[in-house]
Amino acid sequence: MRLVVVSNRVTIPDRHEKATAGGLAVALREALEKHGGLWFGWSGVVGSTRQLRETQRGNVTYAVTDLSEAERESYYLGFSNRALWPIMHYRLGLTEFQRSDYMGYLGVNRRFARELARMIQPDDVIWIHDYHLIPLAAELRRRGITNRIGYFHHIPWPSADTLMALPFSTTLVRTLAAYDLVGMQTQVDARNLIDCLVNLCGARTDGRRVRLGMRETAVQPFPIGIDVEAFRRLAAASVRQAATPLRATRESLGERKLVIGVDRLDYSKGIVQRLEAFGQFLRSHPEERGRVGLLQIAPPSRSDVPEYAELDRMSDEVAGRLNAQLGEFDWTPIRVVKKAYSRTALAGFYRRAQVGLVTPMRDGMNLVAKEYVAAQNPADPGVLVLSRFAGAAQQLGDALIVNPYDIHEVAEAIRTALAMPKSERIRRFEALYHVIETSGIHWWTQRYLEALTGAPAQAEVVEPPSKVDSKVEPPVRRTGRKPRPAASDRGEAKSRAITVGQKRGAPPGETAHVSFAR
């Protein structure tokens, strides 16, 4: 078997890559090296030539293509990041839909499928990543690709009620049936997706597998992890290194305690709310003023999307206001640093910080939470404060779990974390460390690939959406009744004797036993 990975962005590794690449990139690369493989996707460059460029590194081929300016606008900035991203993060008010963006999104997926199909070999297993590429498998199937194809969704999947607000969502969700395996971050996301497939598309399910037409797709949670041991080593080494930002922080902070936040500058991360919560903490506990500071590292992201530019402005404004109101001539309560640091530097910051403040408004998993835990000194660990709306909260119940919409609750959690006795910090750390260690990134890739390669290969074509035409959007079904299947499905269903569908009259999502007998 050869592994083919497809992701929106592909970074071709250079000599220094091991030190800078994140756990996911390294783990996928390792899986590719193990099986021999191909990594396909966008080069990250916007250019006039869209020719495929291939680079060989050992037994892995990196095949990348540039996007045209129009493709970047519609596929990446438009449909992926102004429509799918906000709606998947439950932010209906920020969701901007343009038909031309959707057309561009489908167009890039079609082009990627055309290029990729030419490179696929009979025993390849294809693993597609992220919301930019949802319809890719349907496009590949249309080109006759019958290989096993898996998809992993790195961000949350909302309820059917939320997703329905996005035009053409039913058509888009339906294309997921072209995959043999769909991986989600959490059980909640998996359940939401199954509900969407059942209630919007008329699929049947046994709770783990979904049947739509004659295709069967497994939908399962695979909570993504980090390379715990590698990150722990980085953090331990950072303490000994002389010329790191950590050393400089130590000098500038002295004995003061440190609360840390590290996030892309993205509204889903709750950065502004977090700054407000830290301000509230200092107002509620004036005795802490001058004794602790918040360092928020926030490398800019997607700055061509207006909502991100607005967040950039707002975070400066809020940090400036709070510093002016609460600071002293010799103490700045909040530092917001809008640049990226190396993983070594981040590991050092995490280790130095008494509190890791990870409070997204909604997040697929959030690996910063796991990295913060991995970086701690086991003999004197810091405390993780974690949003209940991060996927990581499903696993890391020994963190201080908070509602990021309640700045008073977050403020009190900061206080509790700073005052927590060492014995309790150690107990919580050990429990958290055990979880991240037993569900690390290598476990994740292995489990996913085992599930994908074990899945039965199926040849049936799922029609990808070919044009923006409201007639292709089937009516939404909100009852337990099955919609009338397409003629071809009716014929297949009869001859293959598929027996039970969703329970008649049952609330959406509730299903009777389903037999998938062929």
Q: Which active-site residues does the annotation give?
A: 154, 363
Cβ proximity to ligand F6P, 302 vs 428, nearer residue: 302
CB of 460 to ligand F6P, least distance (A): 29
Per CB under 6 A, which of residues 159..218 are in contact with ligand F6P? none
CB of 28 to ligand F6P, least distance (A): 11
Cβ proximity to ligand F6P, 302 vs 352, nearer residue: 302
Residues whose CB is less than 8 angstroms from the CB of residue 166 and which lie 6 or more positions away in sequence, other chains included? 83, 84, 87, 95, 97, 172
Task: Kindly give the pairing relationship between strand 181-184 and strand 215-221.
Answer: parallel
Cβ proximity to ligand F6P, 42 vs 278, nearer residue: 42
* Alpha carbon distance 105, 77 (integer Å): 10
Cβ proximity to ligand F6P, 130 vs 412, nearer residue: 130
CB of 342 to ligand F6P, least distance (A): 16
Is residue 154 part of the contact set for ligand F6P (CB under 6 A)?
Answer: yes
Contact of 102 with 468, CB cutoff 8 Å: yes
* Alpha carbon distance 271, 266 (integer Å): 8
Which tokens sit at 391? 């996927």
* Alpha carbon distance 166, 146 (integer Å): 30
- Count of residues of this chain found to bind ligand F6P when the rule CB under 6 A is applied: 7
Contact of 127 with 6, CB cutoff 8 Å: yes
Single residue of 2, 153, 232, 302 touching ligand F6P by CB under 6 A: 302
Cβ proximity to ligand F6P, 84 vs 210, nearer residue: 84
Please give the DSSP secondary-structure letter assigned to residue 342: -
CB of 8 to ligand F6P, least distance (A): 6
CB of 370 to ligand F6P, least distance (A): 14
Contact of 391 with 363, CB cutoff 8 Å: yes
**What does the H/E/C string look like for 118-172?**
CCCCCCEEEEEECHHHCCHHHHHHHCCCCCEEEEECCCCCCCHHHHCCCCCHHHH
Task: Kindly give the pairing relationship between strand 257-262 and strand 124-129.
Answer: unpaired
Bridge partners, residue 220, by sequence: 183
CB of 244 to ligand F6P, least distance (A): 24
- The owner of tokens 């936040």 is 261
Contact of 220 with 190, CB cutoff 8 Å: yes
Planar angle of CA 267, 269, 271, nearest 5 degrees? 80
Q: Coil, strand, or helix at residue 508?
A: coil
Cβ proximity to ligand F6P, 161 vs 310, nearer residue: 310
Single residue of 20, 68, 159, 301 touching ligand F6P by CB under 6 A: 301
Residues whose CB is less than 8 angstroms from the CB of residue 442 and which lie 6 or more positions away in sequence, other chains included? 27, 30, 227
Cβ proximity to ligand F6P, 59 vs 303, nearer residue: 303
DSSP element (H, E) containing 432: helix 422-438
CB of 1 to ligand F6P, least distance (A): 24
> Count of residues for the chain?
518
Is residue 133 part of the contact set for ligand F6P (CB under 6 A)?
Answer: no
Q: Which residue is nearest to ligand F6P (CB)?
A: 154
Contact of 435 with 396, CB cutoff 8 Å: yes
Is residue 130 part of the contact set for ligand F6P (CB under 6 A)?
Answer: yes
Binding mask 24-53 for ligand F6P (x = CB under 6 A): ------------------------------
CB of 154 to ligand F6P, least distance (A): 4
Contact of 170 with 212, CB cutoff 8 Å: no
CB of 479 to ligand F6P, least distance (A): 34
Cβ proximity to ligand F6P, 39 vs 278, nearer residue: 39
Contact of 391 with 354, CB cutoff 8 Å: no
Bridge partners, residue 258, by sequence: 293
Given CA atoms 130, 401, 370, 452 in this order, what sign does their dihedral have?
A: negative
Cβ proximity to ligand F6P, 77 vs 190, nearer residue: 77
The binding site for ligand F6P (CB under 6 A) comprises 8-9, 130, 154-155, 301-302
